Amino acid sequence: MKEALERIRLAEEQNKEAERAMIDELDHYQIEKQQALQAIQTQQKNQRKEIIQQLERELLAKENDLQNRLLAEATESQMKDEARYQQQKDQMIAQIINEMRENYGC
């Protein structure tokens, strides 16, 4: 009987030791997985940051291209308007001179 009680006590101690070992192993596993998850989250955050920065660079480049194109178009349009104005001015001056010659015989 004494021997049976001793075996039961030893078995209970082994069970408690196995339980502590399993809890320690689970804690270690949980910490390991949390660190892995944190690493993945950090990596994804960095990737999102890089993607956003790349998109910002592309949008700025497109905006600059559009601005340059619009400036070129505005400059071209202004030059055409000035040329038309000069042409009409010259025509008006010529017309006035012709009318003066016709009216006053100069």
N residues, the chain: 106
The region, left, alpha or beta by phi > 0 then psi within -120 to 50, assigned to residue 36 is alpha
Q: What is the SS3 assignment for 41?
A: helix
Question: How confident is the model over 8-23, as pLDDT tens digits?
Answer: 989 899 999 999 999 9
User: pLDDT class for 106, splitting at 50, 70, 90?
Assistant: low
Judged by DSSP in three states, 1 sits in coil
Kindly report, residue by residue over 77-104, the tens digit of the pLDDT.
999 999 999 999 999 999 999 988 888 8
Model confidence, pTM: 0.57
Q: How far is CA 95 from CA 3, 52, 90, 104, in A?
A: 135, 63, 8, 14
| Domain-wise residue ranges, the chain | 1-77
